[in-house]
Chains A and B, each alone.
Chain A
Amino acid sequence: MLNKILLWKERRYFWELSRKFLKDKYVGSVLGLSWAFITPLLLAGAITLVFTRVAKVSLPHYPLLVLSGILPWMYFSASLSEGAYSILNYSSFLKRFTFSPVIVPLSLSGANFLNLLLSIGVMLPIFILFNKSVLFLLPVLFFFLVLFFFLASGIMLTLAWSNVFLRDIGHLTSVGLLFWFWITPVFYTLSLVPERFLFYLYLNPLTPFMRIFHSILYRGVFPRPFDAYLSFLYTLVFWLIGYISFLKKIPEAKKRI
């Protein structure tokens, strides 16, 4: 029973399919996996350019801040936008293979997660160059990244099944992500935000995570306990909602694909 719920038996499919999706993502392109860090670098460069030259943000090593935020954000954004359509796009998988349907969206998320680990791995020397302490914080970073995976996957699972019933969810997700980007402290710190907005910003489940990633990668310090607790809480809530609702709704959804 526990096996069934926790999908322990199916872990192999998760692993195989994640790798497959990752390969599918870059297959045929010349630069291949390099895109895993070229994209965030370019995006970080653009943001830095805009905010240092145009908006005159004056934080020390600002590009480093942007980079430490943009990497997890890109994972999050890709997971959600791909995941929302996972059941629809990969319906044939659900019809051909007998593994649990939850494997498909999770593997998509997994593929993006591998992508994230890869890009962080490549960028790591830069972070370490600025803060040697990052090296020691790596296990903590990994722990929070995994936690982040569950949060993102939880939200994504909810979107994945609901998009089958209501196709608007998919479109809403792409618009929502645009909006979400700006209200998440990806390229800014909470110190730049007026205090009266802080409460609302913390309603965003990404806020504690971004603060954690900024702490570790940008500042090279241990995350603050408050953010850690909050990230636990958010992950638990969103994962449970996503996972349980997915398992409950997927038999119904299968009939519609």
Chain B
Amino acid sequence: MKETVIRLSDVELDYLTPFYFPGKKRHWEKIKALQNINIEIQKGESIALLGDNGAGKSTLLKIIAGILKPDKGTVQVEGKVRILSELGAGFNIEASGWENIFIQGSLFGFSRKEMEKKASKIAAFASLGKYLYAPLKAYSEGMYVRLAFSIGIYTDPDIFLVDDIITVGDIHFQEKCIQRLEKMREEGKTLVIVTHSLPLAERLSTKGIWLDEGKIAYVGPITEAAKSYLQLSKEKGKAFALEKEKLKIVFQEGKIFILWDNNLLSPYYGGYTTITKNNNAVISPLQKWKMEKYTPREIIARGDFLELPLSQTWKIKLISEREWEWEVIMEPTNKVKLEEVQTGLLLSEDYKFLWREKEREELPYYKGKEWKPFREEKDPSPFLISAHAGSACPAILWEPFLKFDKKQIFLSGEETGCKAFYWGWKAKEWMPGKHLIFSGRMQLIPPALLPLKQKKKAEGNIYRIEEGQIKIFSGEQEITAPGGLALLFEYQGQHYLPDAGKISRFFSEQEKEIKFTWENLPLYALFRIRDEKASLNWEIEIISEEKLALTNPRVVLNLLPFFDKWFTLREEGDFSKNLRWFPDTPAPTPFLSVKGEKCKLLCFSIEEKENIFSLIEKKKEMIILQHFKGYKVSIEKGRNLLFKGKVSLIEKENNFHQQREQERKETLRKLQEQGLEAGNISFFMDRGRGRIFCQGRELTSSWGLYVSILTPEGWRESFKGTWKVHKEKEGELVAEGRHFFLPLFQRWRIQVKDNRIEWSWEGRKEEEFNIREVHASLMLKDEYTEYFADQSNSFPEFEEDWTTIWEGRVKKSLQVKGGNLPSVSFAGSSRKGIIKISPSRLKGRVLEYRVAPNKMKFQGYIWIENTN
């Protein structure tokens, strides 16, 4: 049966407080401490009173205790009430702890006899050792409080009221108190606690009452109350939380609290800033804060200094479930000279170790009262701080994006037991305007992943991260050349090479994130890599501060020249010495793979199958595999997933080839389905190249029908682009796409009628660029032995490079004959014809027309004769 032991109805209480505003007479103001309070508490319930400082929690506690009488309303309390507050009262500092137990007992209304029974329990609980018999004046603050709390806890109340016990003694004693309170709760005592520690509130109580400016804002289950206290109060401009999985970042009036799995990692001020002027430090919690933006991922708040012509804007951004960023912009309105500007973080006493490279150093325990500087240095490396073994607190990596004047560590002393870490600026005059005084991010790292020892490449893994590079190994042999797996791009005409990557996050032993930065660019890239057996999955994400466009972003794998064969889905070949590009044509292809004697077949694949242009390149001492993504890729502000793929070493080569064969057939079948057919002739667009078949035999070779454009940088073939093929009307095939290396949009229209292929090509510049020449070409099989322009002639032997064998004005058409293939004639809207033979590796006869370079249009006809 429920029995109401505390009933407050319509309770109101005002305080009269004098205010001494500078330069004004004292004036009294009525403060409404409590208004319209209606509470019923049943026997055996445990209640947590939540709320900001000054919300009226302690006042309410005192009213329940009968210490204060409400101005209005009634208070009914049944049972013996004990309140734990004003711990020092009633002690005689000259008398010993033992005697004081009796003095206090008597003041709580116990006879000496009754107290004799309790005294030993109290003494045991306070565990003061021999100090029990020393006068209180010899006690430390902590011992004093321990004694007071122990007495309070053992005076057998029915209703126990506790005012913020988190300040009681060291953590061991706190834990003991909390356990004792839990026991009292089990015994059916009624508990009412005031606390600022939500985890504690959730542990000790079942119900929460949230007080806000003297009114009850919420009554209900503690988890809900705590949640509403944290979240709902955002409407009042107080606590704002960003939350993802276990991580919770709470902004409250110039303080940032970091919670991990409901453990508060940063007590007291948490993350805050401090500014020193005239030896007077002003801290951010003392400013007036205003929320400017609040979304579940971002907080922007502005704080105005009351004493200084300054304001601060904080941007707090949740990046992931283990990571958040913090930016502080200071804005003086007048020129102001400051001795110090610091951004700090207080970490709880669980944090004990400071890391430097792979070594850790224990931060000393400091017993004094005042804060003590521990170290000051200029080293720009991030703070990495970890907790003692057995703590549930993750290690914290606090990494600045700026270079600071100094880096400081303070020990806060016994009372708070905090470690304080600062990034700061020395004395300086600050001009009006915006100054970025802090920018950085904080990551929470599972303790198991700290670099206690330099880890060797794990057994079976194919990669290792060394010197900020992702290197691939085949067995114990490194196969990557300098650069390893990397992201390259151009931006505003400049090539950028990344700064060495840093491991920025550990998800687990298998999953890591590596950060690459580029100097002077407002962006960075994150490589997320994940191990699997004999393969490495990677994902590249660009995080940008602004919207911009990158030119030819590409993921590159630099390999040592151990390889002598290459394969793409459709092509394959050998690396021969003097060639630079292999193959010239595969776009798109899901993978590039290479094989050598020293190394298993390596496959560098990409998940995206469209909009990708892949290239194998051989330089002197390097084989470079590249996947390009578009010419201009627009990067949005924030996160952009750019590439996703895999590097794998293939054990079963046969499977690979079988699969490749299958896929190749499948792709070809699809292409043919998309193509045109009339009579014996069929045509399809294969990755931007027109391919012509007659009775199932291909007439075209390698590049087929294509257009090439000569720019100051060299030849750019039309097929190096992305393509979308569709049939606009029956019998007309349209292929459209953007070029990879030019700001060019292209459209092909092709029709097949009987033995004639009519086609047109049109290019549209999306940006101005220089074109020197445009050629429309048809590359045909090398089985054709003769060509005909103005007269008939035989093709010469292939050479290493392109060879022009005829150039001139075309009367009717350019023609090839020979082998058992039907002869092909090629005519177009231009009269300037060229006949070439390709380099030997392409094995093609090329019929070509020179197009006026200012005209990005060409129309052509191809006749196929003797189709029988």
Is B92 touching A20 in the complex (CB atoms < 8 A)? yes
Q: How far is the CB of A10 from chain B (nearest CB, A)?
A: 9
Interface stretch among A46-54, A55-63, A90-98, A213-221? A90-98
| Pick from B13, B67, B83, B107: contact of A16, CB under 8 Å | B107
Residues of the B chain whose Cβ atoms lie less than 8 Å from the Cβ of A94: 67
Is A251 touching B68 in the complex (CB atoms < 8 A)? yes
CB within 8 Å of B: which A227-256 residues: 251-252, 254-256
Q: Would you give the 0/1 interface string for B53-77, flagging 1 where the beta carbon is closer than 8 Å to chain A?
A: 0000000001001111100000000
Is A256 touching B86 in the complex (CB atoms < 8 A)? no
Residues of the B chain whose Cβ atoms lie less than 8 Å from the Cβ of A97: 89-90, 107-108
Residues of the B chain whose Cβ atoms lie less than 8 Å from the Cβ of A92: 86, 88-90
Residues of the B chain whose Cβ atoms lie less than 8 Å from the Cβ of A99: 107, 109
| Pick from A27, A93, A252, A255: contact of B90, CB under 8 Å | A93
Is A96 touching B90 in the complex (CB atoms < 8 A)? yes
Is B86 touching A96 in the complex (CB atoms < 8 A)? yes
A23 within 8 A of B: yes
Q: How far is the CB of A208 from chain B (nearest CB, A)?
A: 36
Name the residue among A12, A20, A94, A98 with the largest chain B CB count within 10 angstroms: A98
Residues of the A chain whose Cβ atoms lie less than 8 Å from the Cβ of B14: 255
Is B69 touching A98 in the complex (CB atoms < 8 A)? no
CB-CB under 8 A for A27 and B94, given A98-B83, A255-B15: yes
CB within 8 Å of A: which B717-737 residues: none
A35 within 8 A of B: no
Is B107 touching A95 in the complex (CB atoms < 8 A)? no
Is A12 touching B62 in the complex (CB atoms < 8 A)? no
A28 within 8 A of B: yes
Q: How far is the CB of B73 from chain A (nearest CB, A)?
A: 13
Is B85 touching A95 in the complex (CB atoms < 8 A)? yes
CB within 8 Å of A: which B72-104 residues: 81-83, 85-90, 92, 94-95, 103
Is B92 touching A96 in the complex (CB atoms < 8 A)? no
CB-CB under 8 A for A98 and B92, given A12-B109, A255-B13: no
Q: How far is the CB of B87 from chain A (nearest CB, A)?
A: 8
Residues of the A chain whose Cβ atoms lie less than 8 Å from the Cβ of B89: 90, 92-93, 95-97
Residues of the A chain whose Cβ atoms lie less than 8 Å from the Cβ of B68: 251, 254-255
A13 within 8 A of B: yes
Q: How far is the CB of A15 from chain B (nearest CB, A)?
A: 9
Q: What is the predominant secondary structure among interface residues of chain A facing chain B?
A: helix
Q: Would you give the 0/1 interface string for A147-184, flagging 1 where the beta carbon is closer than 8 Å to chain B?
A: 00000000000000000000000000000000000000
CB-CB under 8 A for A27 and B67, given A13-B107, A95-B86: no
Q: Would you give the 0/1 interface string for A41-80, flagging 1 where the beta carbon is closer than 8 Å to chain B?
A: 0000000000000000000000000000000000000000
Q: How far is the CB of A131 from chain B (nearest CB, A)?
A: 40
Interface size class of A (residues with CB under 8 A): 20 to 34
Q: How far is the CB of B777 from chain A (nearest CB, A)?
A: 96
Q: How far is the CB of B17 from chain A (nearest CB, A)?
A: 8
Is A98 touching B65 in the complex (CB atoms < 8 A)? yes
**Distance A98 CA – B109 CA, assembled complex (angstroms):** 10
**Distance A110 CA – B289 CA, assembled complex (angstroms):** 53
Number of A-B contacts (CB under 8 A): 65
Q: How far is the CB of A92 from chain B (nearest CB, A)?
A: 3
**Distance A72 CA – B85 CA, assembled complex (angstroms):** 38
Is A98 touching B66 in the complex (CB atoms < 8 A)? yes
Residues of the A chain whose Cβ atoms lie less than 8 Å from the Cβ of B90: 20, 92-93, 96-97
B4 within 8 A of A: no
A195 within 8 A of B: no
Q: What is the predominant secondary structure among interface residues of chain B facing chain A?
A: loop
**Distance A248 CA – B431 CA, assembled complex (angstroms):** 60
B16 within 8 A of A: yes
| Pick from B69, B85, B103, B108: contact of A20, CB under 8 Å | B103
| Pick from A23, A251, A256: contact of B92, CB under 8 Å | A23
Q: How far is the CB of B29 from chain A (nearest CB, A)?
A: 13
CB within 8 Å of B: which A95-142 residues: 95-99
**Distance A252 CA – B71 CA, assembled complex (angstroms):** 9
Q: Would you give the 0/1 interface string for A10-49, flagging 1 where the beta carbon is closer than 8 Å to chain B?
A: 0011001100100110011000000000000000000000
**Distance A256 CA – B15 CA, assembled complex (angstroms):** 7
Name the residue among B83, B89, B106, B107 with the largest chain A CB count within 10 angstroms: B107
| Pick from A12, A20, A252, A254: contact of B67, CB under 8 Å | A254
Residues of the B chain whose Cβ atoms lie less than 8 Å from the Cβ of A23: 92
Residues of the A chain whose Cβ atoms lie less than 8 Å from the Cβ of B88: 92
Residues of the B chain whose Cβ atoms lie less than 8 Å from the Cβ of A96: 83, 85-87, 89-90
**Distance A96 CA – B155 CA, assembled complex (angstroms):** 13
Q: How far is the CB of A6 from chain B (nearest CB, A)?
A: 17
* Chain A residue, CB-CB nearest to B71: A251
Q: How far is the CB of B59 from chain A (nearest CB, A)?
A: 9
Q: How far is the CB of B106 from chain A (nearest CB, A)?
A: 4
Q: How far is the CB of A105 from chain B (nearest CB, A)?
A: 15
CB-CB under 8 A for A24 and B92, given A12-B109, A94-B67, A256-B16: yes
**Distance A252 CA – B30 CA, assembled complex (angstroms):** 12
Residues of the B chain whose Cβ atoms lie less than 8 Å from the Cβ of A256: 15-16
Residues of the B chain whose Cβ atoms lie less than 8 Å from the Cβ of A251: 68-69
Is A98 touching B81 in the complex (CB atoms < 8 A)? yes
**Distance A23 CA – B69 CA, assembled complex (angstroms):** 31
Q: How far is the CB of A67 from chain B (nearest CB, A)?
A: 31
Residues of the A chain whose Cβ atoms lie less than 8 Å from the Cβ of B92: 20, 23-24, 27
CB-CB under 8 A for A95 and B103, given A254-B68, A255-B15: no
**Distance A27 CA – B85 CA, assembled complex (angstroms):** 26
Residues of the A chain whose Cβ atoms lie less than 8 Å from the Cβ of B62: 95
Is B107 touching A17 in the complex (CB atoms < 8 A)? yes
* Chain A residue, CB-CB nearest to B65: A98
Residues of the A chain whose Cβ atoms lie less than 8 Å from the Cβ of B94: 24, 27-28
Residues of the A chain whose Cβ atoms lie less than 8 Å from the Cβ of B108: 97
* Chain A residue, CB-CB nearest to B28: A256
Q: How far is the CB of A97 from chain B (nearest CB, A)?
A: 5
Residues of the B chain whose Cβ atoms lie less than 8 Å from the Cβ of A12: 106, 109
The interface of chain B, by Cβ under 8 A from chain A, is 13-16, 62, 65-69, 81-83, 85-90, 92, 94-95, 103, 106-109
The interface of chain A, by Cβ under 8 A from chain B, is 12-13, 16-17, 20, 23-24, 27-28, 90, 92-99, 251-252, 254-256
7 further interface pairs, Cβ-Cβ under 8 Å (given A12-B109, A93-B90)? A20-B106, A95-B89, A97-B89, A98-B67, A98-B81, A98-B82, A255-B13
Selected A-B contacts with CB under 8 Å, 12 pairs:
A20-B106, A23-B92, A90-B89, A92-B88, A96-B87, A97-B90, A98-B66, A98-B67, A98-B82, A98-B83, A251-B68, A256-B15
**Nearest 9 A/B pairs, CB to CB:** A92-B89, A96-B89, A16-B106, A251-B69, A96-B86, A92-B86, A95-B86, A27-B94, A28-B94
